[in-house]
Amino acid sequence: MDGHVLARAAVFTMILCMGVPVKVVGRNVSSSKQAVINIGALFTVNSVIGRSVKPAIKAAVDDVNSDSSILQGKHLNLIMSDTNCSGFLGTVEALQLMVNDVVAAIGPQSSGIAHIISHVVNELHVPLLSFGATDPTLSALQFPYFLRTTQSDYFQMQAIADLVEYYKWREVIAIFVDDDYGRNGISALGDALAKNRASIAYKAAFTPGAPISDINDLLVGVNLMESRVYVVHVNPDSGLRVFDVANHLGMMTSGYVWIATDWLSSVMDSSGTMDPDEMDLLQGVVVLRHHTPDSNSKKKFSSRWNQIKDKETSSFNPYALYAYDSVWLLSRALDVLLSEGENISFSYDPKLKETKGSTLHLSTLRSFDQGDKLLRILTTMNFTGLSGQIEFDQDRNLIHPAYEILNIGGTGSRRIGYWSNQSHLSVTAPGSSYMKPLNNSAKDQKLYDVIWPGETVKVPKGWVFPNNGKALQIAVPYRVTYKEFGTRDKGPIGVRGYCIDVFEAAVDLLPYPVPRTYILYGDGQRNPSFSDLVLDVSQHKYDAAVGDVTIVTNRTRIVDFTQPFMESGLVVVVPVNKVKSSAWAFLKPFSWEMWSVTGAFFLFVGAVVWILEHRENHEFRGTPRQQLITVFWFSFSTMFFAHRENTVSTMGRMVLILWLFVVLIINSSYTASLTSILTVQQLSSQIEGIDSLAKSNVPIGVQDGSFALNYLIDELQIAASRIKIMKTQDDYIDELRKGPKGGGVAAIVDELPYVELFLSNVNCEFRIVGQEFTRSGWGFAFQRDSPLAVDLSTAILQLSENGDLQRIHDKWLSKNSCSAQGNQVDDSRLSLTSFWGLFLICGVACFISLTVFFFRVYFQYRRYIPEDEENGFEDPESVSSDKRPSRGTSFKKFVDTKEIEIKDKLKRKGSESKSKQQISQIADGQLSSPS
């Protein structure tokens, strides 16, 4: 391609050497005299941008020449070239400009001309300062002498991509002019959208200067498509024709979204007050405009604009500010160059030496000797101009790119926010955000409300079902097993099943029609591969997949799923046998530890109650044999709440109440456990769940086409040789009945909905063991970023809330109680772990009661034992004994004595002590009286 460019440049050189008029503004003084410095200007004078740029450049040159503090007394000599909106003539003018020994050129405004002329200035070392060529590809290293003094469309397209993400649209249609400016700008938009998981659904290009009929045909085709978000990236001089045609086609009404790049704001700014008929075409359009911060110098320039004699517009657009600053940027750089002692000079390029017989006159082109130094100075300049801060980053783009986001309505526009590469979308002017950290958070993005086409503030969803008559191509798995979920049908739609009914019910809730065609996926001889089905959807072979498609991680990377309409997860199914009757089945509810501790506590509590009641309750007294029988009877009769002995002591009643509560819990638990054991099925293998299955070496069955095969191999590292593919439900039954010893399988791993349907047809011969070891669901798969997936998710939630989803489930599927039974007999056996808290509470209560009881008895004994030893506190039967009872024997007698006898002795002791005290007092009184 470079060869073609150079060839075109050579042709243009030949043409300019044949004589092309050049318009010179100012004194035409030879640069060799060093009195003036020639600079060039390239733009289309009679254009929206040109009419603003021309007076701005002239004003800048006048300001520079009137400032004696710059350029060391030298003046700028401006040479203007009109590109006439023609790539051919514009390139000729640009080449002719180089013959005049210009040190730099301001322009061009056309990206196409900039691409060609950049090769020339590279060779001649003449910097090219473009205020209007926004093509992002011009920033490439291929064009070292091209310096953009405006913002690149790379940043503008980033702003549009952020807008699309902010309003949660996923696809846009790009309408653009098919030249370097349009193509490369839309290419940058596609890259920016891809970062946000959005895309360009269609690129609608038309040739520069295309007639109305071509634009009409283009928009007619676009209007038949799904997306309703249009990005218009065209030239300012012809862009309004797009909206004129769109208005006639009814595309400026509710539901449509129109986003225009900065070309439209340039038209509006240049016009000052636009024609009301033109404004009617633009109602609801969102448009971007270069943000140039307000400043005193900008206000002065605005006031001065009315005094400029040859201005052709009542106002100016941002490109005029960029052009004005470009002249000052060049002047400041030249001033630095001259202050370094450099003299401006040109020399012939040996590469352009004319060959013998050549008529191209290449010797008329001279290279700028100080071009590389001037370029270096230009890229390091830093000052504040009318458009803001003029400083370049390492990619030679102006720092702090920013745009205003406008919404057109009524007779003008209003600003709804800003975009900058620092804060992205914001309602705050960008200047205050440059000192803050970079903000990439979507939740912090904010814009004011937009009045969309059709005068609505409701954000359009950005798409409609296409009007081109094309129905959705929906793939339905052609199942061999579990046809209840989806299979062939002779009805109008050709398919039937649970999944089909759910999808049809969800589509009926959508506010728009969805034409659709169901296509069976598979040969009907075996279940299709669901992974292949999802892959075909992602590759646009089908628009969607409707069926029992499991939502797993690797599938979500390539397609979009709806909200799950069925919960699912992998489970293990094994054969079971009925438990045989046993004479000792009544012992199975409790473990042996539980039986031992329970029996010990019966005796312990009986003994505690006997101790607490023995001194007060005559039912707990008698001969040792009678008392022992009483303890045993009372202990075990509480098991049935049949004890006939009453408790009279406070602590005895407290212990008994706690113990009866424990007995109630134990009895209830025993009854429930025994009932479960006598009715439960017992496994015919030792497989208790996925963990024990994975650790064993037994064969495993999986359903044909299920993701369970890859999950067992990839995730659980189970050898593929252990896995058998089950094609039908009969295979399930046969392989499980055979078992590993008969060449079958020990267990089957499948999804819970399939297993529940399978178990309902096998009379509880098999059962689920363990828990679901994956958590997922079934959803409908759509191509990435399909808006239909979002709407159907909402519809599925509505089906769930109004009960229709459950009614569809009950219509097609049934659930047998076998699937919900316990797993093994041992699972119903109760251990000590479940009751140790109760035993602990009861034991602590007994301990506290005994402690209080013995302390009270001990203190009574200590108080009365001296008198008892003096008075012979002993049993009547031992009165005749020769030996006095020991202290220990007396304490046992004391404990065995009834409480009422102790209380009587307390009373007598109190009376006797009082009598003795009175007698002592009388005796003391008589002795002390005189005789």
Q: Is the pLDDT of residue 528 over 80?
A: yes
Whole-angstrom distance, CA of residue 565 vs CA of residue 562:
8
Q: Is the pLDDT of residue 222 over 70?
A: yes
Whole-angstrom distance, CA of residue 513 vs CA of residue 508:
8
Mean of pLDDT over the chain: 82
Helices (H), strands (E): how many in the chain?
A: 29, 33
Looking at the DSSP bridge assignments, the partners of residue 747 are: 700
CA 317 from chain center: how many Å? Answer: 41
Of 506-510, 753-757, 859-863, where does mean pLDDT reach its minimum?
859-863
> Cα(first)–Cα(last) distance of the chain, in Å?
157
Q: List Cα–Cα distances, 624 to 493, 630, 896, 929, in angstroms.
A: 92, 10, 11, 61
Mean pLDDT of 154-183: 94
Mean pLDDT of 656-663: 78
Mean pLDDT of 491-496: 91
Task: Give the per-residue pLDDT at 458.
Answer: 92
Going by C-alpha positions, the residue among 276, 47, 53, 289 that lies closest to residue 159 is 289
Going by C-alpha positions, the residue among 137, 158, 21, 125 that lies closest to residue 82 is 21
C-alpha angle 454/457/462, rounded to 5°? 70
C-alpha angle 568/574/578, rounded to 5°? 125
Mean pLDDT of 500-513: 92
Mean pLDDT of 192-215: 92
Mean pLDDT of 882-893: 52
* Stated pTM of the model: 0.67
Looking at the DSSP bridge assignments, the partners of residue 37 are: 76
Q: Is the pLDDT of residue 147 over 70?
A: yes
Whole-angstrom distance, CA of residue 651 vs CA of residue 635:
17
Q: pLDDT tens, 114-129?
A: 888 888 888 889 999 9
Task: Give the per-residue pLDDT at 240.
Answer: 92
Task: Quote the strand ranges of 279-344, DSSP E.
Answer: 286-290
Pairing of strands 286-290, 402-409: antiparallel
Whole-angstrom distance, CA of residue 38 vs CA of residue 36:
6
C-alpha angle 297/298/300, rounded to 5°? 65
Whole-angstrom distance, CA of residue 16 vs CA of residue 18:
5
Mean pLDDT of 602-622: 71
Q: Is the pLDDT of residue 257 over 90?
A: yes
Of 474-488, 739-753, 841-855, where does mean pLDDT reach its minimum?
841-855
Task: Give the per-residue pLDDT at 94.
Answer: 77
Give the DSSP letter of residue 712.
I
Q: Is 784 helix (H, G, I), strand (E, B) or coil?
A: coil
Q: Which two tokens stand for residue 231?
A: 């990005």
Going by C-alpha positions, the residue among 176, 187, 183 that lies closest to residue 215 is 176
131: CB partners within 8 A, 6+ apart: 53, 106, 107, 109, 149, 150, 319, 322, 323, 326
Going by C-alpha positions, the residue among 889, 853, 857 that lies closest to residue 873 is 889
- DSSP string computed for 423-446: TEEESS-GGGGTTSPP---GGG--
CB 313 within 8 A of CB 272: yes
Task: Give the per-residue pLDDT at 688.
Answer: 82
Whole-angstrom distance, CA of residue 21 vs CA of residue 97:
10
CB 8 within 8 A of CB 91: yes
Whole-angstrom distance, CA of residue 543 vs CA of residue 540:
6
Q: Is the pLDDT of residue 860 over 90?
A: no
Cis peptide before 108 (omega within 30 of 0): yes
Q: Is 359 helix (H, G, I), strand (E, B) or coil?
A: coil
- Residue 769: pLDDT band (50, 70, 90) is confident
Task: Give the per-residue pLDDT at 786.
Answer: 83
Run of H or E including 232 = strand 229-233
Three-state SS annotation for 618-630 = HHHCCCHHHHHHH
Task: Give the per-residue pLDDT at 159.
Answer: 96
Whole-angstrom distance, CA of residue 167 vs CA of residue 45:
39
CA 629 from chain center: how many Å? Answer: 74
Q: pLDDT tens, 818-840?
A: 544 444 445 556 777 777 777 78
Q: pLDDT tens, 66-85?
A: 998 998 889 999 999 888 77
